[in-house]
Structure 1
Amino acid sequence: MEQVFGLTWWIMAALWLLAISATVFALVHAVRQRSDAFTAVDKLTKPIWLGILGVAALLLLVTAPQLGLLAFISIIATGIYLADVRPKVDEVQRGPRW
């Protein structure tokens, strides 16, 4: 039974590390972008996304490495930024790819 508990803990720790890494990446990406790029693609403003991602990172740090409800909310917020906002902000700043 102890081996199962140990394996579960390591899996959760790995998932937490992946989540915090993605959130920090998203936060750094948001910091480096121009403010007008967010409004140009009809997304929330840069300060709002910085606040969302900052709170997400903080919640992940507080819940480490037990992934509770707040951690899942943080992961969802990070996923929305990375899947929806980031590609559009990048596209508007560098133009469409051919």
Structure 2
Amino acid sequence: MASAPLFYDDVARLISFAVWVVSLIVQAVALIHCVTQRGDGFQAIGTLPKGAWLAILAICFLLTLLGVGGGAIGIFGLIGVAAALIYLLDVRPGLRDLSDGKGFW
């Protein structure tokens, strides 16, 4: 009976760490992609400017890395993952279509 709480704590800590690492990877991929894009492409697809995306992604990445607000499952970690996913699933395909010359319109 005494080993059950210890085992639970270890598993919970391991899952929390895994979620934190995956969260940082997703946010880092979005941030690196944003840094490497041209600024005029963001205006062409009708989204926030590059500077705004850089600020949002960098601040959220930093706050998640430092564990502010509860780490990856805290408020800043969840906002960071949401912002990174919005960037990767909405803005990135638009920039890719724009650079391919095919366009999305």
Tell me the TM-score normalized by structure 2. 0.85
For the pair 1:92 / 2:71, whether they are aligned, the reply is no
Structure 2 residue 41 is the aligned partner of structure 1 residue 37: yes
Spell out, residue by residue over 1:40-64, the C-alpha distance to the aligned partner (whole angstroms, 9 max, x if none). 0001001110101001111111217
> 1:36-95 CA distances to partner (integer Å, 9 max, x unpaired)?
111100010011101010011111112175521111111111111111111111111113
Name the CA distance, whole Å, in 2 between partners of 1:10 and 1:81. 28
| Alignment partner of 1:81 out of 87, 90, 93 | 87
Write out the 4+ residue segments of structure 1 that deviate beyond 3 Å after TM superposition.
none
Distance 1:12 1:77 in 2: 20
Following the alignment from structure 2 to structure 1, what is the Cα–Cα distance between the partners of residues 9 and 81? 24
Instruction: Please give the alpha-carbon distance, in whole angstroms, between the structure 1 residues aligned to 2:56 and 2:71.
Output: 20
**Cα distance, 1:75–1:41 mapped onto 2, change above 3 Å:** same
Task: Count the aligned residue pairs.
Answer: 97
Taking the aligned partners of 1:53 and 1:40, their CA distance within structure 2 comes to 20
Match of 1:5 among 9, 22, 42: 9
Query: Which gives a bigger RCO, structure 1 or 2 (Cα 8 Å, sep 6+)?
Result: 1
Unaligned runs of 5+ in 1: none
User: Percent of aligned positions with the same letter in both sequences?
Assistant: 33
TM-score between the two structures when normalised by the length of structure 1:
0.91
Q: Aligned residue for 2:65?
A: 61
Residue pair 2:63, 2:76 contacting (<8 A) in 1 also: yes
Paired with 2:78 and 2:26, the residues of 1 have a C-alpha distance of 13
Contact 2:63 2:77 in 1 (8 A): yes
